[in-house]
């Protein structure tokens, strides 16, 4: 079940092999840093760190004529000792936009993430006394502005997007309606789950049939960090899941290795993250054309609605699987913004019931 399923075992194996191939391209001092994070960091994150460190090493080779012909794998720790804070600043500019050589264009958030790997590597070398100075620590990280304007749907829009699946929409062409009929039960089950549980797309994709308990109305899922969790659902999810499992899913002839998947593509493979994202956007364009709706926006819709109904920020954090409750504060901020909007019409000094002669 869930974490012990063949899907997650195969996923972990592929990630491990990918990490090993990247480590084979990194010099020893970078490999040591990555190994030091193995017990506390997810493999997918280590893969990202490895990519980011390779980008930095390629930057050094591209900008330093003395390193032009040196493979990153062969670079020595002494290179780090020669780097100054000014070089790190130049690297940030390189990440922001580079048109000479390897093309790069990144926003502040992406730059901050790539810089995090570099700062971590320098800190590791400093703690272990392999270097005496840390130039990366002297360079400020990009300041990221907190966006409190969470895009989410109201109740009418939620119904519109579900109706676009079940009864079609005037904006649909005949071809679109015909195609949607083939996956109507699957699409409705997926969207209903996302809207009524706040589940991540990756968590939905990883579901197996035996992760579904229609007696207890529960799902066993694997969270973003790799931990296993149980979430519970109500009648709408129960109804759509039952219809799909007893209906469309019975007609699928799964390919070898995909037999246990809950949701399939028309080719009989476990549905991909990309396919789920596309189906969400497809129905959203039809039903809510004025908003840019993604699967994460469905998650925001659920999180905001749950907080509005319960007022319990810790419950929202637990249900959504947030390791850090500060992430959940965004939903609190969204509700607070609604309250502030109400203040716009709360005070009216032109009201006739105010006595102009009253003195305080």
Query: Tens digit of pLDDT for each residue in 268-316?
Result: 999 999 999 999 998 998 888 888 888 988 998 898 888 888 888 888 8
What does the block give as tokens for 63? 């900008």
Q: Give mean pLDDT, residues 27-56.
A: 95
In a domain, 351, yes or no: no
Residues 239, 333 within the same domain: yes
Which residues form the domain of 64? 2-138
| Residue 296 neighbours by CB under 8 Å, 6+ apart | 201
Q: Give mean pLDDT, residues 232-239.
A: 96
Indicate the pTM of the whole model.
Answer: 0.78
Contact (Cβ atoms closer than 8 angstroms) between residue 328 and residue 316: yes
Phi, psi of 220 (to 5 degrees): -95, 120
Query: Tens digit of pLDDT for each residue in 89-145?
Result: 999 999 998 777 777 788 888 899 999 999 999 999 999 999 999 999 998 887 766
Q: Identify the CATH number of the domain in which residue 230 sits.
A: 1.10.443.10
Q: Which residue has the tokens 């749907």?
A: 153
The whole-chain average pLDDT of the chain stands at 86
Q: DSSP E strands: which ranges in the chain? A: 97-98, 104-105, 212-213, 218-222, 228-232
In a domain, 321, yes or no: yes
What does the block give as tokens for 186? 């699957």
In a domain, 356, yes or no: no
Residues 209, 89 within the same domain: no
Residues 172, 57 within the same domain: no
Which residue, of 111, 138, 165, is where some domain finishes?
A: 138
Residues 118, 57 within the same domain: yes
pLDDT above 70 (res 257): yes
**Which residues are paired to 212 by β-bridges?**
219
Residues 85, 19 within the same domain: yes
Q: DSSP E strands: which ranges in 101-155? A: 104-105
Angstrom distances, CA of residue 86 to CA of 56, 125, 140, 357: 14, 19, 12, 68
Q: Which residue has the tokens 């990918």?
A: 18
Least confident range of 17-26, 82-91, 194-203, 312-321: 312-321
Please tell me the predicted confidence (pLDDT) of residue 48: 95
In a domain, 360, yes or no: no
Q: Give mean pLDDT, residues 186-206.
A: 95
Query: Tens digit of pLDDT for each residue in 311-337?
Result: 888 888 889 888 877 777 766 665 666
Residues 160, 283 within the same domain: yes
In a domain, 36, yes or no: yes
pLDDT above 60 (res 355): no
Residues 125, 167 within the same domain: no
Residue 240's pLDDT band (cuts 50, 70, 90) = very high
Residues 125, 210 within the same domain: no
| Residue 98 neighbours by CB under 8 Å, 6+ apart | 104, 105
Residues 203, 327 within the same domain: yes
Structural domain total, the chain: 2
Q: Which residue has the tokens 């959940």?
A: 328
In a domain, 144, yes or no: no
Residues 68, 124 within the same domain: yes
Q: Identify the CATH number of the domain in which residue 78 sits.
A: 1.10.150.130
């Amino acid at each position: 079940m869930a974490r012990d399923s063949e899907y997650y075992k195969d996923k972990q194996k592929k990630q491990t092999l990918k990490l090993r191939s990247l480590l084979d391209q990194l010099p020893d001092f970078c490999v040591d840093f990555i190994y030091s994070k193995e017990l506390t960091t997810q493999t997918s994150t280590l893969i990202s760190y490895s990519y980011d460190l390779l980008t930095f090493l390629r930057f050094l080779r591209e900008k330093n004529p003395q390193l032009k012909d040196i493979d990153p794998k062969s670079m020595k720790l002494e290179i780090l000792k020669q780097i100054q804070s000014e070089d790190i600043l130049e690297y940030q500019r390189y990440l922001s936009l580079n048109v000479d050589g390897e093309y790069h264009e990144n926003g502040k958030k992406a730059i901050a993430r790539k810089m995090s790997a570099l700062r971590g590597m320098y800190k590791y070398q400093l703690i272990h006394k392999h270097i005496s100075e840390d130039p990366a620590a002297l360079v400020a990280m990009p300041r990221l502005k907190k966006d409190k304007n969470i895009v989410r749907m109201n109740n009418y829009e939620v119904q519109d997007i579900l109706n676009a699946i079940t009864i079609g929409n005037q904006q649909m062409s005949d071809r679109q309606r015909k195609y949607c009929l083939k996956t109507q039960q699957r699409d409705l089950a997926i969207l209903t789950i996302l809207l009524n549980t706040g589940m991540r797309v990756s968590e939905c994709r990883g579901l197996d049939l035996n992760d579904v308990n229609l007696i207890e109305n529960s799902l066993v899922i694997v969270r973003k960090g790799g931990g296993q969790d149980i979430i519970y659902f109500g009648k709408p999810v129960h109804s759509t899941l039952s219809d799909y499992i007893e209906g469309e899913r019975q007609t699928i002839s799964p390919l070898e290795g995909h037999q246990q998947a809950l949701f399939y593509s028309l080719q009989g493979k476990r549905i991909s993250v990309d396919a789920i994202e596309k189906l969400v956007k497809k129905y959203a364009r039809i039903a809510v054309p004025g908003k840019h709706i993604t699967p994460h926006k469905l998650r925001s819709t659920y999180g905001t609605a749950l907080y509005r109904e319960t007022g319990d920020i810790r419950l929202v954090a637990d249900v959504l699987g947030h390791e850090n409750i500060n992430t959940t504060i965004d939903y609190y901020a969204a509700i607070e913004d609604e309250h502030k909007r109400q203040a716009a019409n709360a005070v009216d000094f032109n009201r006739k019931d105010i006595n102009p002669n009253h003195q305080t």
